[in-house]
């Protein structure tokens, strides 16, 4: 089983990826982590990747797809893979489909976590960080005990540049432009499932797992039917 999660910054994708990978025994495959590991290992690929990063360039699609499929070739004791933050573009999606097909695999389900823009802005622009010990807070959901001061070291909290409302709006616009063709690609294949991500993490998990459960039971039924 190969599952893909798509969602804007602030959609709580990381939390869902962690919960789903534990609940269903799925290997998490996140390109960021894998690329960083390769750089640290100083592998042939890592050196290439580092070159792009140093120049401030995006790592090309073919390298990313190569890295991910190699990781999936290692096999696993788990039930499958959960892709996080990859593929990012339609081109990557097409390349990935091709490589999966060569291996007799395919993407089963793609979850698109949708959250309204005001809610995303509230979630992200409310974040605060302690510049000294890097603990994270939120002005609504995870308040420090004393206004705008770190609970541990009493340093005044700051808002990261990336979390400022104007910057968040720009990031969200960019995200929507980038993701639209990707969503269309999976919708045409009838693999896309829209998930309402405005509620609590628990509720989002319940929606996603209901789809996975019905997908799994449908597959086990159709396998039995084939055996007869």
Q: Which residues are catalytic?
A: 13, 88, 127, 160, 171
Q: What angle do CA 23, 205, 143 make, to 5 degrees?
A: 110
Distance, in Å, from the CA atom of 169 to the CA atom of 8, rounded to the nearest integer, reads 11
Nearer to Zn ion, 130 or 168 (CB): 130
Distance between start and end Cα atoms, the chain: 23
How many residues bind to Zn ion according to rule CB under 5 A? 7
Distance, in Å, from the CA atom of 205 to the CA atom of 123, rounded to the nearest integer, reads 18
Contact in structure between 1 and 26 (CB atoms under 8 Å): yes
Distance of CA 147 to the CA centre of its chain: 32
- Map the footprint of Zn ion across residues 209-228, applying CB under 5 A: none
Q: Give min distance, CB of 12 to Zn ion, in A.
A: 24
Nearer to Zn ion, 155 or 209 (CB): 155
Per residue, what are the HEC states of 75-109?
Answer: CCCCCEEEEECCCCCHHHHHHHHHHHHHCCCCCCE
Q: Give min distance, CB of 142 to Zn ion, in A.
A: 14
DSSP designation for 191? -
Nearer to Zn ion, 101 or 154 (CB): 154
Q: Give min distance, CB of 155 to Zn ion, in A.
A: 5
- Map the footprint of Zn ion across residues 153-182, applying CB under 5 A: 153, 155
Nearer to Zn ion, 121 or 139 (CB): 139
Distance, in Å, from the CA atom of 93 to the CA atom of 191, rounded to the nearest integer, reads 13
Q: Give min distance, CB of 131 to Zn ion, in A.
A: 8
- Map the footprint of Zn ion across residues 117-156, applying CB under 5 A: 130, 132-133, 150, 152-153, 155
Nearer to Zn ion, 133 or 210 (CB): 133
Q: Give min distance, CB of 135 to Zn ion, in A.
A: 5
Give the interface with Zn ion as residue ranges (CB under 5 A): 130, 132-133, 150, 152-153, 155
């Amino acid at each position: 089983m190969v599952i893909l999660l798509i969602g804007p910054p602030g959609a709580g994708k990381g939390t869902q990826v962690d919960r789903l990978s534990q609940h269903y025994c799925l290997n998490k495959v996140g390109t960021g982590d894998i690329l960083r590991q390769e750089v640290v290992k100083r592998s042939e690929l890592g050196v290439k990747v580092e070159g792009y990063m140093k120049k401030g360039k995006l790592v090309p699609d073919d390298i990313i797809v190569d890295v991910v499929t190699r990781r999936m070739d290692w096999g696993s004791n788990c039930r499958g893979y959960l892709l996080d933050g990859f593929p990012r573009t339609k081109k990557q999606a097409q390349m990935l489909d091709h490589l999966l097909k060569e291996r007799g695999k395919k993407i089963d389900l793609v979850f698109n976590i949708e959250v309204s823009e005001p809610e995303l802005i509230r979630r992200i622009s409310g974040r605060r960080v302690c510049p000294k010990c890097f603990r994270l807070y939120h002005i609504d959901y995870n308040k420090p005990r004393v206004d705008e001061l770190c609970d541990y070291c009493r340093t005044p909290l700051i808002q990261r540049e990336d979390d400022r409302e104007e910057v968040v709006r720009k990031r969200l616009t960019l995200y929507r432009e980038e993701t639209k063709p990707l969503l269309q690609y999976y919708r045409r294949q009838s693999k896309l499932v829209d998930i309402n991500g405005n509620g609590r993490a628990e509720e989002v998990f319940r929606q996603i797992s209901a789809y996975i459960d019905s997908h799994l039971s449908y597959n086990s039924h159709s396998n039995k039917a084939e055996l007869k």
